[in-house]
Amino acid sequence: MTTLLPIAIEEVKRRQLLLVAIFAAIALLALVAGLVLPKKYTSSSTILVEDSNIIRPLMEGRAVATGVTNRASITRQVAFSQKVMGEILETGGWMADDPSPLEQEKIIEEITKRTQIANPRENLIQISYTDSNPRRAYEVASRFADLVISESLATKEKESRDAYDFIDSQVRQYHAKLTDAEAKLEAYRKSNPDARPGIETDVNSRIGELRRMVESSRMDLHDLRSQEAALTSQLSGENEVTVLQTRTGQLVARLAELEDEQDRLLLTYTRQHPDVVRIQHQLDDLQAQLRQEDSLQQNRAASVGAINGSANLNPLYGELKSKLAQVRRQAAAMSSRISTAEGLLAEELRRSGRIAASESSLAELTRDYEVNRDLYQDLLKRRENARVSMSLDAEQRGLSFRIQEPARVPLRSNGLRLMHVAGGGLGMALAAPFLLLLVLVKFDPRIRSPQQIERQAGLPVLGAVPHYYTSARRSAYRRKVVLSALLFLMVPVVYGLVLLVRLASS
């Protein structure tokens, strides 16, 4: 660095006019660029989207307020629509020259490029328009905001109305479908009496009841058959006629017993034996009683039901026969009941088969009816909700827009202004000569100092002959210095004059 600094100073002295000319040229060109740079004025309008008001909680679940999820995208679509852009062309005065459709499209493209729509916050929409005319920037930005609000509200109202009309048309279609499904179901039930809801359960219950009845009746019949067999067995062991055991018969039997005992005693004793005498007295008494009973029996009328005076009908036999007849009657009745129950069971089984055969058709018709009914009822609710939503949008009670910050006429241009361009150019003008000088000194292959000879050739330098300036060269050098100073001072003078003119004009 110590070796380059003297060389740089010498190069400045030799090329001072060139370096100052480069500085002045860059500075003045930057000033001219700042002066001719087109000015841009931006006007912005902010729209507040109100989607939470007193109506929303009151109508929760009944009305669906039209919402805007991506508000910037939707606003851009509304703002750049053909209808809105036609209004903007009128507002900005572009239609005064009666441009052709192609020229109008080009103007619309330029307006679209200079228009920015953003969401600074969730419920804010900012519309910014940039133009070279501040008044037109204000008018276009303001008109954009008004048109976006009106078109958005109109779009919301149209959307609600279209939704209501669509749901209403669906309600009418499903009403016709529901009526048709109901008519088909009713006709099928009339042609099939067993095709009723719950009839299968009733039939299955009836079949189970009849089966239990048949089984119970069969068990009762089995019991009656057992009773019949038992009564028949008992009846076979009884006589229909019984012999009456009268007093005369008892006396005769006793008389026979005593005679047998007398004969047995006579085999051992004589007739004078006391036991034989005692039995003889008893035989005499019995014979006297027997003669007395015979006389009484002849005088008494024949007993009713008596057979030959000593026989009668057996009452147990009659009772058993009566019970047997009753059991047989009950068995016959039970058999008839079983036959009737089996017939009813067979009929119910055939009925169950018919129900099973028609179950698929009935289920399909019922399913169609229930689906159409549920959809129809749901669409009725949705239609009422859509009606309320349409009323909210028509009266602007739901989602609403209002100007939060209106557009204003911009007083200052935005972007790069004269001071920015001129300041940047002045900095570049100062830096450019030094950069050129550094490049010249660093990369110039010529020998410019004794140190370069010693370093590159490795030879000692005994001395250096300085430049000798003649009077003519000194005069030329002085003129160059003066010209360079005048050229350098011209730059701040021009910058100052331009600044004064700008201040005076503002």
What pLDDT sits at residue 451? 65
**Residue 75: closest CA among 137, 128, 143, 127:** 127
Q: What is the pLDDT of residue 55?
A: 39
Torsion from C-alpha of 336, 339, 341, 343, nearest 10 degrees? -140
Each residue's pLDDT tens digit, 86-128: 888 888 888 888 888 898 889 888 888 888 888 877 778 888 8
- What digits encode the pLDDT tens for the residues 433-442? 777 767 766 6
The pLDDT of residue 222 is above 70: yes
pLDDT confidence band for 38 (50 / 70 / 90): low
What average pLDDT does the segment 413-431 reach? 69
Q: What is the spatial distance between Cα 481 and Cα 472, in angstroms, rounded to a whole number?
A: 14
**361 contact partners, CB below 8 Å, separation of at least 6:** 188, 195
Cβ-count burial of 263 within 10 angstroms (0-12 exposed, 13-18 middle, 19+ buried)?
exposed
State the DSSP code for 415. S
Residue 37 pLDDT grade (very low, low, confident, very high; cuts 50, 70, 90): low
Percent of the chain with pLDDT over 70: 70
Domain locations in the chain as residue ranges: 4-37+419-505, 41-174+395-405, 241-310
Check: CB of residue 127 under 8 Å from CB of residue 404.
no
Lowest mean pLDDT segment, chosen from 29-33, 328-332, 367-371, 462-466: 462-466
Q: Among 254-258, 439-443, 484-488, where is mean pLDDT lowest? A: 439-443
User: Does 400 score more than 80 pLDDT?
Assistant: no
> Which pLDDT score is estimated for 228?
80
Strand partners, 404: none
Closest CA to 80 of 47, 48, 105, 101: 105
Q: Where are the alpha helices (DSSP H) in 80-198?
A: 82-92, 101-113, 134-191
- Of the listed ranges 20-34, 108-122, 194-208, 210-224, the one predicted with least confidence: 194-208
According to the model, what pLDDT value does residue 3 have?
55
- Cβ(124)–Cβ(49) below 8 Å: yes
Helices 315-394 and 134-191 meet at what angle, rounded to 10?
160
301: pLDDT confidence band, cut at 50, 70 and 90? very low
| Mean pLDDT value across residues 176-188 | 84
Question: Which segment of 132-141, 210-219, 355-364, 411-420 scores lowest on mean pLDDT?
Answer: 411-420
- CB within 8 Å of 461: residues ≥ 6 apart: 450, 453, 454
Residue 2 has pLDDT above 60, yes or no: no
Give the pLDDT band of residue 198 (cuts 50, 70, 90): low
pLDDT-derived band at 207 (thresholds 50, 70, 90) equals: confident
Residue 422 has pLDDT above 80, yes or no: no
* Mean pLDDT across 126-142: 85
Summary mean pLDDT of the chain: 75
pLDDT(304) > 70:
no
Superfamily (CATH) of domain 41-174+395-405? EIF_2_alpha (3.30.70.1130)
Distance CA 117, CA 106 (A): 20
Q: Is the pLDDT of residue 227 over 70?
A: yes
pLDDT at 416 over 60: no
